[in-house]
Structure 1
Amino acid sequence: MSKTAELLKGAAEGFPDEVVTQATVRHLDLPGGAGRFALITLDNGFDHTKPTTFGPQSLTNLDAAIDQVAAEAEAGEIVGVGLTGKPFIFAVGADLKGVEVLKRREDALTIGIGGHEVFKRLSALPVPTFAYYNGAAMGGGVEVGLHCTYRTVSRSIAAFALPEVFLGLVPGWGGCTLLPNLIGADRAVTVIIENALNQNRMLSGPKVYELGIADAIFEAADFLEQSLVWTSAVLRGEIEVVRQDPDRGEAWDQAVARGRAIADEKVHGAAPAAYRALDIISQVRNGDLREGFAAEDQALADLIMGDELRSGLYAFNLVQRRAKRPVGAPDKSLARKVSKVGIVGAGLMASQLALLFVRRLEVPVVLTDIDQERVDKGVGWVHEQIDMQLLKGRINQDKANRLKAAVTGSLDKAEAFSDADFVIEAVFEEMGVKQQVFAELEAVVPEHAILATNTSSLSVTEMASKLKHPERVVGFHFFNPVAVLPLLEIVRAEQTDDASLATAFSVAKSLKKSAVLVKDAPAFVVNRILTRFMGAVLGAIDEGTPVEVADRALAPLGLPMSPVVLLDLVGPAVAHHVAGTLHKAFPDRFGTSENLGRVVEAGKRTLYVYDSGTPELDPEVAALFKVGDTVLTEEQVRARALEAIAEEIGLMLDEGVVAEAQDIDLCLITGAGWPFHLGGITPYLDREGISERVVGRRFLPVGTAGVPE
């Protein structure tokens, strides 16, 4: 047994049973007479939708395959070695299920070293090595290819990334060291930091080639065949791969500085992974790979045993698993077919909904409003967005024509909705208006049609209470911007039946949204928590705390935006309206800010102005404020806000607004953009002891989103 195999065998003892990746060697004669070639295929033996990952046993299998080809190369029996994956999947990195349960730092360090030791053997072989990125490649899947001499990529790849920083790790099997030395520090910062912190943005095959990560690009249909033809040409000297040496001077420092600015903007220093990755990128500007690999090992060991990764994996599992199997959703067999969608309203929200429905469902969508000008404007906006998709090459002309033809407008609800299967209202947030709209709809839609409301805070039960068939009314609450935020709060009113609810979940799935079933309670989940949180901050301002102090109070959490910036995004009028709704329901916990009321009454749409390039309180807003003389520190404001959130979450769970605390975290991550490194909010409240202090209990079992005890 090799030294590396012994190392990995010891690490495997701390791992659970993993999906083991096999590394199969086969031989072939390269075209053009280049010689005998060894091709290693990574395959876990499952169907093509199951990812190929690397845990200790998988790395051991790859190590054994390299043993075989190394002996053949030393004997002069082969001229090169290739590495590829099963159809559609190259490899997606470390086995995170195993990483998640590690309890000792030495085991985490062993995993880092073990991965390096195996992957480095590819670059140490006496013959050239080739990585053929034939499908999805992420994390360690990208990194194993970086250790090869050459790389090709399939044009069809849509998922290629180093997502580690997004989860709370660093690309620790060569990514932080090899990538900047291959494509330059600035491009590496884009892949490792910027893309990862922008909701794990993926690279396409053409982009991988454009960045210089791959040396050649081929079509998917005959990707491996063309890659082997290209390999033969390289080995025969007919093709020379020329790479530009990266700028190791001032440009390198500027790239690292840009990465730090991105990290500061996204996590505000609250999560260490991005900064550790940047430290390594800075460290390897001299091209010392050994030093870089050692730094990656130490960073991996530290971060694997830290809170950020555990919360990141907890959040990742929520988004990848729980969101795809909504708790409490009725049997999908009850869902009715939706072949036409109606939308009441043609404003910006309604237009966004129309665009989403037509793109995802590809069925007729009709908008109505109170006058032709509004209808034309809404339909026109949807058509413009479709044309933009065409210009960007995301759809072809035929599809653009079909989608545009499917979106129409009408002033006549009876004509527009007489054959609609699903009708959603997006009108003014006032109960009387919405009840009137539903009464009009019930008179004209088919008996089977679902009536949905996009209300953000009003009672769906009350909205349906005057209808003959309230059982077909369901809450369908989207978050703005509709195209970006994945969450869809599906609200079951008191009389909503299973068929209507099942249809709502079926539509949500077709829309590619993360649906969470919520009880018909004031403001549901996200808006209720954010309003309580915002109320604590606004209350501190009303008492006399300077706006800038209160606004900085939550910065240590690394939230996507500060409270007042969030208030500006939502809009003072909307925030004040939701606060009023919750004040009526829970007057002892939710107040309304008189200062915010004056801002709304004055017609101010924001609190901040950005003339200087940074947010500053609008002087006209400041003149409207009347404050007391109680000045709180940032720490005091933060404590007040977090304790308020903890209390509200405890009450929501007691009321059964959602099934479990995990649903609250899923809602905040997908509907409010709360960062993965927090795991939502409940892991953070548990770690800080706030949940036990305020509610008297933890929200999650001990060890959840943390190092196992």
Structure 2
Amino acid sequence: MPVHVRTLDLPAAGAGRMALLTLDPGDPRKPFVLGAETLLALERAVDEAERLVADEGLVAIGVTGVNGVFCAGADLKSVARTTSREDAVATAELGHRVLGRFATSPVPTFAYVNGLALGGGLETALHCTYRTVSEQVRGLGLPEAHLGLVPGWGGTYLLPRIAGPDVAVQVAVENALANNRTLTGPQAFEAGIVDARFEAADFLVESLRWTASVLAGTTPVTRRDLADETTWTAAIERGRAVADARVHGAAPAPYRTLDLLSAARTADRETHFAAEEAALGDLIVSGELRAGLYAFDLVQRYAKKPAGAPARDLARKVTSVGVVGAGLMASQLALLLLHRLQVPVVLTDVSPDRVEKGVGFVREGVAELLRKGRVSPDTANRLSASVSGSVDKSALADADFVVEAVFEELAVKQDVLRELEPLLRPDAVIATNTSSLSVTAMASVLEHPQRFVGFHFFNPVAVLPLVEVVRTPETDEASLATAFAVGARLKKTCVLVQDAPAFVVNRISTRMFDEVVRALDAGTPLLEVERSLDPLGLPMSPFRLASFVGPAVMLHVHETLAAAFPDRYRVSGNLRRWVEAGGPALVTPKGPVAATGADEGLFEVGSSPLTREEVLHRVQDALADEVRRVLDEGVVAGPEDVDVCLVLGTGHPLFTGGITPYLDRVGASERVTGRRFHPAG
């Protein structure tokens, strides 16, 4: 049975006995999740606990987890199999009925949150009378809006009433839409979500001792007063502003969540739970949720086992790393390699000043990791001592893995590789971080091109989890396997791509941006162009993203792709003017977006402006066309690879599935290519 029931004496004289329910998946490799089977098992366990209360005079009921997991939430595979609204509502009703038993118990109930508690897991704890948490817990949250759902088992009613509407909006909307940011145990305590916190080593013992004192009345537990209407309204308005900035009205889930949080101030429990059930009924069968579950599953699977990766045992051991270049991107790479691999890292560059600056950046990064508690003082000292620099590339002679990250120009990179190769060991793997240049052309200057591989990171390096691992016709299995192994140690998700101009992310994103610039060139007002892509729910509007990446970088990628595919890509004169003007910011986030005035007189535009709908339609068609070409050319194996790349490389939202489910849903796939990317349904 996945829920064990045992009785135990509370650790205080005369405190009595309690029933403790343990949520146990039976497999230490898997977290406990709530589906039809486990919910019914939990209900039977509660029945047994209440029988013991009646028969043996137990004074409390508690619930906890095992293996550092309290409960990981709903069984998403079961949710994905739900195809009718009636079944979806029935699932919501079952969750309310079972978890609600902790709130209607004849004795006080206690949640001992020993680890991960997401979605229905956190809601299980919220239904209890009292909650404790381990100091070391990471991963408390309500991520449903991130996927396309609402916290539908009591979360939108209980959390604002326990911790206040500000905390509820932060957890259920702001954090969920920030790529599912979660809380730690101490943060949950400070927010008022839990009542007490204890060290992991003695967590259950201390929680039971605290339970006894609460029951005895010697430890009072105070709760926050229900917020007034003004405070509640302000919190909801803040949440709506966050939702607008993140998804621009394109996804229903965060807005349904906010509607429920707003209603929780005055609704009675039964009425509110019925509203949660109705919301879940609508959302579980929606296209946005289907796409969200598809993308979520893809990201999880690729993180564990990248598609097409060689056998892991082919990878060479990496005990030292070299980075050629000491600029900002190279220094970010060096810091990441040092932190995650914890091996010696050597940076090289053409001048002592650049080398010194790069090494200094890495050491300051280590100091920042120490300040944030990400590394211990001993580890920080060791890492700082393990990074060095030189203007002589022979300092890389002992490196097992060398990353080239110099100026993005083919001739420059080829000159560096010619000089570098004779200095390295014969079995050293050489990787390039190029964003758009031909990896095959770079490898052509090497005596041993089989050890050369593309290793394309995305900026900011420490944040974005994608690496495009680029295979040339010459790259051997051992070098490829080594790149994947290094990526895994860096905690990145690697996607195998064949060498092609701009690979996947930059090629598809540039095709989209090219259509946006065409609309601007035609005379469409800048703000109209920006807002035209709101239905895509992108984290940044087109010109804000271009400013973040850098207009000069955008221009370079456009030039590369225009040279490779002149039938589809071009270099806009306005893009050149923007770069020549120094790349001033064109938009800032005020409301959805507002012009700064930097665009006045900067562009030469036509007199045939497009409507927002026309711009969106053209972007959809361009994306469908380019994705199909990428697939037909064999750059990646399937649409799943494209979607993982766009979710992890540029932040495409889960509710679009990355991009291909969205293009199917809006009809662009069939409109442009005559076929869908995925089977209907």
1:471 matches 2:450:
yes
- Are residues 97 and 616 of structure 1, via their aligned partners in 2, closer, same or farther at CA, if it must alter by over 3 Å? closer
For residues 485-515 of structure 1, the C-alpha deviation after alignment (integer angstroms, 9 at most, x for no partner) is 1010000012111110000000000000010
Matches within 5 A, 1:531-542: 531-542=510-521
Deviations 1:50-93 (A, max 9, x none): 01011112111111111122223234621111111122111111
In the other structure, the counterpart of 1:108 is 88
Match of 2:671 in 1: 693
Q: Which moved more, 1:483-492 or 1:50-59?
A: 50-59
Corresponding residue number in structure 2 for 1:480 = 459
SS at match of 2:310: coil
Q: Is 2:577 aligned against 1:592? A: no
Residue 510 of structure 2 is aligned to residue 528 of structure 1: no
AA matched with 2:214: V
Contact 1:248 1:286 survives alignment (8 Å): no
The 5 Å alignment of 1:276-287 reads: 276-286=256-266
Q: Residues 247 and 447 from structure 1, CA distance in 2 versus in 1: closer, same or farther, beyond 3 angstroms?
A: same
Return the alpha-carbon distance in structure 2 between the equivalents of residues 474 and 388 of structure 1.
31
Note the 1:114-513 alignment, pairs <5 A. Answer: 114-286=94-266, 288-414=268-394, 416-513=395-492
Shift, 1:615, TM fit: 5.5
- Could you list the per-position Cα deviations for residues 83-140 of structure 1 after superposition, in whole angstroms to 9, with x for gaps in the alignment? 1112211111111101101111111001101110111111111111111111111111
Between 178-187 and 378-387, report the one with greater CA deviation.
378-387
Select 2:24's aligned residue among 43, 53, 56.
43
Show the counterpart of 2:78: 98
Per-residue CA distance 1:22-46 (angstroms, 9 max, x = gap): 2221111111131121111111211
| Number of equivalences | 680
Indicate the larger mover: 611-620 or 388-397: 611-620
Distance 2:514 2:415 in 1: 31
Instruction: Give the drift of 1:607.
Output: 4.4
Backbone CA RMSD of aligned residues: 1.5
Preserved contact between residue 573 and residue 605 of structure 1 (Cα < 8 Å): yes
Inter-CA distance 384–521: structure 2 relative to 1 (3 Å threshold) = same
Matched, 1:69 2:43: no
1:667 matches 2:645:
yes
Aligned counterparts of 1:426 and 1:533: Cα–Cα separation in 2: 26
Measure how far apart 1:276 and its partner are. Answer: 0.8
The secondary structure found in structure 1 opposite 2:62 is strand
Q: Distance in 2 between matches of 1:510 and 1:318?
A: 20
Question: Residues 203 and 82 (structure 1 numbering): CA distance in 2 closer, same or farther, change over 3 Å?
Answer: same
What is the CA distance between 1:614 and its match in structure 2? 8.0
User: Which residue of the other structure, out of 595, 609, 615, is the alignment partner of 1:637?
Assistant: 615
Letter paired with 1:680 = G
Unaligned runs of 5+ in 1: 1-20, 704-709
**2:244, 2:592 within 8 Å by CA — same for their partners in 1?**
no
CA contact (8 A) 1:346 1:378 kept: yes
Q: Distance in 2 between matches of 1:39 and 1:624?
A: 69
Mapped contact 1:53–1:91 kept (Cα < 8 A): yes
Contact 1:522–1:585 under 8 Å retained in 2: yes
Identity %: 57
Contact 2:449/2:474 (8 A) holds in 1? yes
SS across alignment from 1:517: strand
1:560 aligns with 2:551: no
* Counterpart position of 1:656: 634
Matches of 1:26 and 1:229 in 2, distance apart? 17
1:647 corresponds to:
625
Instruction: Give, in angstroms, the shift of residue 394 of structure 1.
Output: 2.4
One-letter identity of the residue aligned with 1:558: G
* Counterparts of 1:376 and 1:263, CA distance in 2: 43
Which of 506, 519, 522 matches 1:543?
Answer: 522
Report the CA distance between 1:249 and its aligned residue: 2.5
Which residue in 2 is equivalent to 1:13? none
Letter of the structure 1 residue corresponding to residue 58 of structure 2 = I
Deviations 1:525-552 (A, max 9, x none): 0000011111111112112222222221
Deviation at 1:246, TM superposition (A): 2.8
AA paired with 1:60?
L
Point out where structure 2 has 5 or more consecutive residues left out of the alignment: none
Write out per-residue CA displacement over residues 598-645 of structure 1, whole angstroms, 9 at most, x where no aligned residue.
Answer: 22234x223416598986556564423222221111111111111011
> In structure 1, what is the Cα distance between the partners aligned to 2:593 and 2:34?
45
The CA distance in 2 between the partners of 1:400 and 1:470, in whole Å, is 37
Residue 706 of structure 1 corresponds to none
Q: Is the 8 A contact 1:342 1:423 kept in 2?
A: yes
- Counterpart amino acid of residue 456 in structure 2: H
Partners of 2:520 and 2:363 lie apart in 1 by: 44
Return the letter of the residue paired with 1:488.
V
Report the Cα distance in structure 2 between the residues aligned to 1:541 and 1:374, rounded to whole angstroms: 39
Q: Distance in 1 between matches of 2:83 and 2:272?
A: 25
Aligned mates of 2:598, 2:151 — CA distance in 1 = 48
AA at the equivalent of 2:361: W
The answer to whether the 8 Å contact 2:586/2:598 transfers is no
Task: Tell me the amino acid that sits aligned with residue 242 of structure 2.
Answer: I
TM-score, normalised relative to structure 1: 0.94
One-letter amino acid of the structure 2 residue matched with residue 270 of structure 1: A
Tell me the CA shift for residue 322 of structure 1: 2.5
Is contact 1:323–1:666 with CA below 8 Å preserved after alignment? no
What amino acid is aligned across from residue 126 of structure 2 in structure 1? L
